[in-house]
């Protein structure tokens, strides 16, 4: 057997070995109930006690200690492997839109919700231990999903740019120039009170006068 034939045989054997390893991984993933977020082998859902009372029909989960970067889209992509998600909400600050690091998740099947509560409680995620609890149906607040929305970050730079570049009336321009001149004088007084020999640059601007009304002679 020549050198070329040996090289071709080695390449073929490597391909066969890689294909067999990939097939084994796919079989293991199919046998597993869910895949961990950090990667690695799939895991089986532990056999737990059946829920009793109102929690047996509970479909809403409380999720606490949500880490930074694990928001609506990431949570939906991860938890959808357990079952179909009906609603998902990450509680956010109404003014800033930042996450308050807790939220609520609702599944269509109560059995799936119970399994998620058993599997994901105290699950280490980005150095945070997730706190996952079932909420009984009678304890679910009627306004929990009211006003639910997917957060869209506000472009405050764009808002300020529009506000700054908008066309102003003569009165608005007058007020703006007066405000700037007042701030400049206050700054100059503060500098003089500090004993510094410095004169602020002169502000180029003026308060425009209102145009005079022209009276036309009647014919």
- Predicted pLDDT at 98: 84
Q: What is the pLDDT of residue 193?
A: 92
What number of other Cβ atoms are within 10 A of residue 89's Cβ? 20
Q: Is the dihedral of CA 102, 108, 114, 118 positive or negative?
A: negative
Instruction: Tell me the pLDDT tens digit for each residue of 104-129.
Output: 999 999 999 999 999 899 999 888 89
pLDDT score of 1: 57
Q: Which residues of the chain have pLDDT under 70?
A: 1-2, 4-10, 12-13, 16-17, 19-55, 147-153, 204-219
Compute CA 96 distance to the chain's CA centroid, rounded to the nearest angstrom. 12
Sign of the Cα pseudo-torsion (43, 91, 86, 72, in order): negative
With a threshold of 0.85, does the pTM exceed it?
no
Per-residue pLDDT tens digits for 35-71: 665 566 666 655 544 445 556 788 999 999 999 989 8
Q: Are 113 and 60 in contact (CB under 8 A)?
A: yes
The pLDDT value given to residue 45: 55
CA distances 160 to 95, 163, 166, 174, Å, are 16, 5, 10, 20
Which residues sit opposite 124 in a β-bridge? 129
SS3 for 129?
Answer: strand
């Amino acid at each position: 057997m020549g050198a070329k034939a040996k090289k071709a045989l080695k390449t073929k054997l490597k391909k066969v070995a890689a294909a067999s390893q990939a097939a084994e991984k796919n079989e293991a993933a199919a046998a597993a109930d869910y895949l961990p977020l950090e990667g690695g082998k799939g895991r089986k859902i532990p056999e737990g006690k059946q829920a009793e009372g109102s929690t047996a029909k509970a479909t809403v989960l409380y999720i606490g200690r949500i880490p930074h970067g694990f928001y609506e889209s990431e949570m939906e992509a991860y938890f959808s492997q357990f079952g179909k998600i009906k609603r998902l909400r990450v509680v956010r600050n109404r003014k800033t839109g930042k996450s308050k690091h807790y939220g609520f998740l609702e599944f269509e099947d109560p059995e799936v919700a119970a399994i998620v509560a058993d599997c994901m409680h105290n699950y280490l995620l980005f150095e945070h231990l997730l706190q996952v609890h079932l909420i009984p149906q009678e304890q679910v607040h009627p306004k929990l999903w009211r006003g639910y929305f997917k957060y869209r970050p506000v472009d405050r730079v764009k808002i300020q740019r529009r506000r700054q570049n908008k066309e102003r009336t003569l009165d608005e321009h007058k007020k703006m120039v007066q405000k700037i001149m007042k701030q400049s004088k206050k700054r100059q007084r503060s500098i003089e009170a500090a004993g510094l020999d410095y004169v602020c640059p002169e502000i180029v601007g003026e308060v425009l006068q209102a145009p005079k009304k022209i009276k036309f002679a009647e014919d």
